[in-house]
Amino acid sequence: MGISKEAAEAVNPKRYRRADLKERIKALSPLERRVTQDGEDEAPFTGEYLDTRKAGVYVDKVTGAPLFLSSDKFDSGCGWPSFARPVDSSVLEKVPDRRNGRNLVEVRSRSGGTRLGHVFGDGPAESGGLRYCINSAALRFVPYADLEKEGLGALREFFGNLKDGQEEKENES
């Protein structure tokens, strides 16, 4: 699916590089800091956004860069919010995670290096087969009705004919 020039600019990671990154990191809660900066994971089934079913965009908690659409969120049963794909491939970077003898692929926000979680190859086949398993502590949810106010109005195009106040039908796979 092609996206408009405005939406492409709205997801451009360079737009979210922050001069005040150190101050933003200091403002995080201890859990948010451990997850986004130190590579820890929140406990499974405890994250704020695990059961969120509203229409909107999940953004990087540190930089505010858009990362995932609610329409790509699904229930994988893993204990963390799971997404089939990012809003655009340019917003994430993947790095090997070999800590503690693991052989995983860690996912980071390209705009600020925020550590988000991991990606696995067992997601919905019809959406590309990936499962982005993301810590709620690394995210902030922007409801559809607030996209314009948050400077993300161009991303409304991803939601079709959805109207303010209308709930999105989530994929409950």
Report the DSSP beta bridge partners of residue 109.
92
Which tens digits make up the pLDDT trace of 134-173? 999 999 999 999 999 999 999 999 998 776 555 554 434 3
Domain ranges of the chain: 5-159
DSSP 8-state secondary structure symbol assigned to residue 155: G
Encoded amino acid at 94, one letter: K
Which tens digits make up the pLDDT trace of 10-54? 888 888 877 788 899 999 999 999 999 999 999 999 999 999 999
DSSP 8-state secondary structure symbol assigned to residue 37: H
Which tens digits make up the pLDDT trace of 78-87? 999 999 999 9
Catalytic hit among 69, 133, 142, 152: 133
Fold category of 5-159 in CATH: 2.170.150
Element spanning 104, H or E = strand 104-109
**Could you tell me the CA-to-CA distances from 79 to 2, 6, 42, 54, 76 in Å, in that order?**
32, 34, 10, 18, 8
Backbone angles phi, psi at 26, to 5 degrees: -60, -30
Round the average pLDDT of the chain to a whole number and report it: 90
| Active-site annotation holds for 78 | no
| Reported pTM | 0.90
Q: Which region, left, alpha or beta, applies to residue 16 given φ > 0 means left and ψ of -120 to 50 means alpha?
A: alpha
How many angstroms separate the CA atoms of 119 and 25, rounded? Answer: 24
